[in-house]
Amino acid sequence: QQQQPHERSCSKIEASASMASVHLSAVRRAIDHCYQDLPPARAYALSADGTSQRGQEKQTVDVDLTYGDVRPEALERALAAAGPMECGTFFDLGSGAGRGVITAALCCGLSRAVGVELLEPLHAAAVAGPLQRYTTLREQVEARVELLDATLAGLDPSRLSAGVELRCGDLFAADVSSADVVFCCCVTWSVSIMQRLAAKLAAELASGARVITVGQRLPEVVDLGEGGAVQFE
């Protein structure tokens, strides 16, 4: 698609591209290491608890609290398709247990990897377990401490992000203007939520930013009224 005059452009990437990484096996072992105490079944239970605490339905036209995990290898392929992002900033909107954030932090040499999750029990478990394990592992790899797991020793310290942050809050309130790549697992989101997401990204992202969606596409063009139109290529 051609960019129209006076329009800003953001790239839209499908989560089906291929990725080649010299330390891919180490990355996958590191994800297992970080999530040894927070498997998907526990994350699903924490998501249910968080939804109950909020007194909301799990899924409505305007809110979707459905928990979902993307396989790390699928996200790795999508990140590779998004192109080089060394020293860039990655956002996962609706980050759940933080698996997407940790995966990106391990793969890409990012400056920052940020996740935003609404449900407090899920967020708290991600911070106390996986994020803490990732931070410790990164420090050990950078210090070249001998690791008991030989596979983890294959991690490239230059590709590990030091700026990993998991936030508890509404993704629509998060400022993503600094993002180079935004990731959303939006398989079950309503048309209304997708339109709201597209308008937010179109208004906030800089030209050239990339958006990875799983399950649904963003609309190709978003009209911002007096702000002009933004085309997702």
Q: What tens digit of pLDDT does each residue of 174-218 get?
A: 999 999 999 999 999 999 999 999 999 988 998 889 999 988 888
CB atoms inside a 10 Å sphere around CB 152? 19
**What gap in Å lies between CA 219 and CA 69, rounded to an integer?**
23
Judged against a pLDDT cut of 50, whether residue 7 lies above it is answered with no
Rounded-to-integer distance, Cα 51 and Cα 57, Å: 7
Q: Is 219 a residue whose pLDDT tops 80?
A: no
Q: What is the C-alpha to C-alpha distance for residues 163 and 176, in angstroms, rounded to an integer?
A: 15
This prediction has a pTM of: 0.86
Number of H helices and E strands in the chain, helices first, is 7, 8
pLDDT digits (tens, 9 = 90+) for 43-62: 999 999 999 998 878 878 78
Q: Mean pLDDT, to the nearest integer, of 152-170?
A: 92
CA distance 86 to 220: 27
Residue 190: CB partners within 8 Å, gap ≥ 6? 59, 60, 61, 62, 64
Residue-averaged pLDDT of the chain: 85
Q: What is the mean pLDDT of residues 54-76?
A: 84
**Type of residue numbered 161:** S
Q: How confident is the model at residue 112 (pLDDT cuts 50, 70, 90)?
A: very high
Query: Rounded CA gap, 148 and 10, in Å?
Result: 43
- Closest CA relative to residue 64, chosen from 187, 174, 215, 173: 187
Q: How does residue 29 score in pLDDT terms, banded at 50, 70 and 90?
A: very high
Token code pair at residue 221: 């063009």
| pLDDT reported for residue 4 | 36
